[in-house]
Amino acid sequence: MQLDTISVLARSHELVAYARLGAVGRAAVEDAYWGEPARAFEYYAHANCILPIEAWPYFSFRRAQLGRGAPPVSGSVLREVRARLKDGPVTSSDVGGARRTPGWWNWSDAKHALELLYARGEAICCTRRAWRRVYDLPERVLPSYVLDAEPTPAECYRYLVGAAVRALGVATRRDIAGYFQLLALHLGRSLPRAQLLDDALAESATVPVQVEGWAEPAFADPAQLGARAPRKHRATLLSPFDSLVWDRARTRRIFGYDLSLEAYKPKHTRVHGYFTMPLLAGGSIAGHVDPARKGHTLVARNVALHDRKAIGDMAAALREAAAWTDCDEVRIERANPPSIAAALKRELT
């Protein structure tokens, strides 16, 4: 579950739960991620993600790699932060603040030390306060069966390959590697990454398959091959960081949809909008919307549909998102094609 600082209707980790489960209460979502006892932790998967607590041992190879490649931190600062951690969990504010000077990456020495300990696995984050990481000692929060496990890199790759295949259902070697960045140089510089991946694939229970239109061979989860396709699909809006679509090449291959994240572009260069959310409907990406919230109004700043038949699905998804975010009205600002605007507004009334 990828984490991100952007919050439009909600932060991405909330939007992913919403897309899967519907309008569950936010308190329940936060407790599921960061409640006690710890059921999840944060670490580097394909990005900074929330992961199930049982996966902690299987990132030991990455913690060893990141510990070697991290930037130097003053020994005295590192000792001071370690000592502070022994007294109890801390945020960066507790050790002097995250920033040395204004700016996104101008971290203080103490924040650098915390992040180094986090990368090495000497500190762990299992909860947040006001969106700040709370760093703790692994031995204080992890159950013994997790803390004491010491898998080899080969065992780590086997576990993570299996988890990736189950999550993806059907995937190429590149897809599987990307799910946990198993081939990324900066996350495994001294490891035989390609060999570890290929050995894990060979030893997995995957079934080699061919997918029409795919240039590369693929692997399937046998449990998915025997599953029935659902008769009904819920229409919902997806975060662009959702694991279903964050891999742009895979999203294009499966859905024929080019996902565009323009939040980091200058406003005047954006085509689709600041935080474009794809519409998942009928098992397909049927369109997208750039939403915003103004007071108790959900504003669809830019709505696009690939098929006019999806007007009802888009309206249903917008109404549900509005109710979930305590909005009592949906306003359409721009539609593409423009001819859908009137029909969409009628559906919303």
Nearest one of 268, 289, 282 to 335, comparing CA atoms: 289
Under 8 Å between Cβ of 93 and 145: no
Mean pLDDT over the full length of the chain? 92
Q: What confidence score (pLDDT) does residue 50 get? A: 96
User: Taking a C-beta distance cutoff of 8 angstroms, is the pair 272, 304 a contact?
Assistant: yes
Across the range 82-98, mean pLDDT stands at: 87
Take residue 293 and report the two structure tokens written for it: 């919230």
The CATH code of domain 236-348 reads: 3.40.630
Tens of pLDDT along 2-58?
999 999 999 999 999 999 999 888 889 989 999 999 999 999 999 999 999 999 999
* Number of neighbouring beta carbons within 10 Å of residue 129: 11
- Among 57-61, 137-141, 260-264, the range scoring the smallest mean pLDDT is 260-264
Confidence category of residue 71, pLDDT binned at 50, 70, 90: low
pLDDT at 104: 46
Does 330 have pLDDT greater than 90? yes
Give the C-alpha separation, 235 to 280, whole Å: 6
**Cα(155)–Cα(168) distance, rounded to whole angstroms?**
20
Mean pLDDT for 211-233 is: 90
Share of the chain above pLDDT 90, in %: 77
First-to-last alpha carbon distance for the chain, in angstroms, is 35
Question: Any bridge partners for residue 279, and if so which?
Answer: 237, 287
Domain boundaries, the chain: 23-147, 154-181+191-225, 236-348
Taking 70 as the threshold, does the pLDDT of residue 145 lie above it? yes
- Residues 84 and 104: their CA atoms lie apart, in Å, by 25
Q: Which residues contact 327 (CB under 8 A, 6 or more apart)?
A: 293, 296, 297, 298
Helix (H, G, I), strand (E, B) or coil at 158: helix
Residue 99, pLDDT score: 62
Residue 292 has pLDDT above 80, yes or no: yes
Cβ atoms of residues 292 and 329 within 8 Å: no
